[in-house]
Amino acid sequence: MKRRKFIQNTSLGSLGVVAGATTLGCKGDSEKKEIATTTPTESDSKRIPVVIGTWNVPDPVTKAWEVIQEGKSALDAIEAGCRVEEANEEGQSVGIGGLPDRDGHVTLDACIMNSEGDYGAVVYLKDIKHPISVARKVMEETPHVLMAGEGARQFALEQGFKSENLLTENSRKAWEEWKKTSKYEPIINIENHDTIGMLAIDKDGNISGGCTTSGLAYKMAGRVGDSPIIGSGLFVDNEIGAATATGLGEEVLKTVGSFLIVELMRQGMSPQAACEEAIQRIVKKNPNHENFQVGYIAVNKKGETGAYSIHEGFYATVYQDDKINAYPPDYYLKDK
Ligand code: ASP
């Protein structure tokens, strides 16, 4: 089931914060699981370990949680969690099945950052469905941090990744349909704004993060957004916390959003307050903010989480204290 539809079907897409629990599932009716839908409070206990992901993504977040429960690192958890969505052919914004650029090419961006402050990223990667793993290889196997295009693809092939066609029939049809008007405008909260950003703290208290996307649907060939760019789509500082972004990448890039959030937390803000301030920076500078979405999630060293967006419709999925919770965070336009 597509994630956006999945959200609508749960009737959670309505106003503001919903408290309670609901039965949600991505894998089909046979595997439904109980997921809370409650905004985390200050009094939540046992905060570490924790996994938080952008959007309503129970399967990737659950996978990451399971890896942490096995005693593995937050970095392993992030890679494993992101790979779940990259392999999901129905998701049209990450990995295989991602919507193409305006010329019909699926190009993927991803980055990963560990608790040592190491970082690896790939941009404009074609034919390889797991850019998060290629990003990790860039971090661990090369003297570089960011590789692009054909060089990144060649590197991935040398590392043993398989070359495959990433344009699924559904995404090809959607692109053919789009070509009839060829109108490029960011659309709020639909499949083309569904980057997976994920942050995790493992049992040792170490923090890592990852971000993986096919970028904006029908982007200009060569366009790269915020998701693979350190400080914009993702930033981790093991002393302080981590943040990641989704939505219109151009706006996140211009405000270096994830780095900003981590620095605000360093100055004493809670993850929630820091996410809100980062959204304010975008909104203040851009009167057009009613026409695009940006969402942030963050976690601090204690395992407290925060999430905030411009528009209604954003979700954060948190696994903490042995419970998974997919909730609609507060948003800037709520009281406007
Ligand atoms: N942030 C991504 C980008 O601009 C898009 C998204 O979140 O869906 O490429």
What average pLDDT does this structure show over 276-300? 95
Annotated active-site residue 195? The verdict is yes
Grouping H, G, I as helix, E, B as strand and the rest as coil, residue 201 is strand
User: E-strand spans in the chain?
Assistant: 21-24, 33-36, 50-54, 108-113, 119-125, 146-148, 196-201, 207-213, 234-237, 241-247, 294-300, 305-309, 316-320, 323-327
Residue 187's pLDDT is what? 59
| Per-residue pLDDT tens over the stretch 117-137 | 999 999 999 999 999 999 999
Q: Residue for token digits 């469905």?
A: 129
What's the alpha-carbon Rg for the chain, to the nearest Å?
Answer: 18
pLDDT above 70 covers what percent of the chain?
84
300-316 in b/e form (b: 16+ CB < 10 A) is: bbebbbbbbbbbbbbbb
When mean pLDDT is compared across 171-180, 185-194, 300-309, the lowest value belongs to 185-194
pLDDT above 50: residue 63: yes
107 close to ligand 1 (CB < 6 Angstrom)? no
pLDDT above 70: residue 29: no
HSE toward the beta carbon, residue 331, CA cutoff 13 A? 25
What does the alpha-carbon distance between residue 4 and residue 149 come to, in Å, rounded to a whole number? Answer: 29
What does the alpha-carbon distance between residue 321 and residue 95 come to, in Å, rounded to a whole number? Answer: 30
Residue 183's pLDDT is what? 77
Give domain 42-329's CATH architecture: 4-Layer Sandwich (3.60)
pLDDT above 90: residue 326: yes
111 C-alpha vs ligand 1 centroid, how far in Å? 13
* 126 C-beta neighbours (distance < 10 Å), count: 16
pLDDT above 60: residue 247: yes
* 22 C-beta neighbours (distance < 10 Å), count: 14
Residue 93's pLDDT is what? 83
Residues in the chain: 336
Choice between 48 and 3, residue whose per-residue pLDDT is larger? 48
Q: 288 forms bridges with which residues in the sheet? A: none
Instruction: Spell out the domain ranges in the chain.
Output: 42-329
Q: Residue for token digits 């009737």?
A: 11
Choice between 39 and 86, residue whose per-residue pLDDT is larger? 86
What is the 3-class SS of 103-132, one letter each residue?
CCCCCEEEEEECCCCCEEEEEEECCCCCHH
Which of 178-182, 215-219, 233-237, 291-295 shows the highest mean pLDDT?
233-237
Q: Are strands 241-247 and 207-213 parallel, antiparallel or unpaired?
A: unpaired
**Peptide bond connecting 49 to the previous residue in cis, omega within 30 degrees of 0:** yes
60 close to ligand 1 (CB < 6 Angstrom)? no
Tell which atom from ligand 1 comes closest to the C-alpha of 109. 9
State the DSSP code for 268: T
**Which of 37, 39, 195, 244 is labelled catalytic?**
195
Q: Give the pLDDT band of residue 66 (cuts 50, 70, 90).
A: very high
| Per-residue pLDDT tens over the stretch 191-231 | 434 789 999 999 999 999 999 998 988 999 999 999 999 99
pLDDT above 90: residue 279: yes
Tokens of 334: 């709520």
224 close to ligand 1 (CB < 6 Angstrom)? no
The helix (run of H) or strand (run of E) holding residue 9 is: helix 3-9
End-to-end CA distance of the chain: 33
Tell which atom from ligand 1 comes closest to the C-alpha of 214. 9
pTM of the model: 0.88
203 C-alpha vs ligand 1 centroid, how far in Å? 30
Residue 4's pLDDT is what? 36
Q: Give the pLDDT band of residue 178 (cuts 50, 70, 90).
A: confident
Tell which atom from ligand 1 comes closest to the C-alpha of 194. 8
Tell which atom from ligand 1 comes closest to the C-alpha of 245. 1
Residue 91's pLDDT is what? 81
216 close to ligand 1 (CB < 6 Angstrom)? yes
Q: Give the pLDDT band of residue 11 (cuts 50, 70, 90).
A: very low
What does the alpha-carbon distance between residue 237 and residue 111 come to, in Å, rounded to a whole number? Answer: 15
State the DSSP code for 202: -
297 close to ligand 1 (CB < 6 Angstrom)? no
